[in-house]
Amino acid sequence: MPPGTRLVLYACLPASLGEAADHSVASARRYVADAGWEAVETHVDRAAPFESRALCEGWHNALAAVEQGKAAGIVTPLLVMLGHLEGDRANLAAWQARTGALITTPWAVVDAAGATVARRSAA
């Protein structure tokens, strides 16, 4: 992605962790800044990460921002935050194929065809 690419930052954090979980959002924000991109919106849901995103308002707002052309895709601290359940993953893949949106994390980039096109080492 070229510098200046606009992304929506989305995270789903367990409410039980409170502010301790916020470091993952800050880490994703640094990743965006270091790449020269722009986080145009940030949406954080406080919910169980392994439950469906269907009832998460922030998730729907993140998708809408891309659909409205505000951003080229979504950056998230971990891919599992976008959907752990098979139905959520299937819906995300269909949405991504329809919109051509990019999905990226500090560890991997997934293109609209659903392929992991880059993987970064943890070191």
How is the chain split into domains, by residue range? Answer: 6-119
- Say what the pTM is: 0.84
What confidence score (pLDDT) does residue 103 get? 93
Residue 96's nearest CA partner among 77, 83, 78, 106 is 83
What confidence score (pLDDT) does residue 122 get? 44
pLDDT confidence of 121, banded at 50, 70, 90? very low
Within 13 Å, how many C-alpha atoms sit on residue 28's CB side? 26
What CATH number is given for 6-119 in this structure? 3.40.50.1390
Question: What's the CA gap between 30 and 11, in Å, rounded?
Answer: 14
What confidence score (pLDDT) does residue 123 get? 40
The three-state (H, E, C) secondary structure of 85-99, written as one string:
CHHHHHHHHHHHHHH
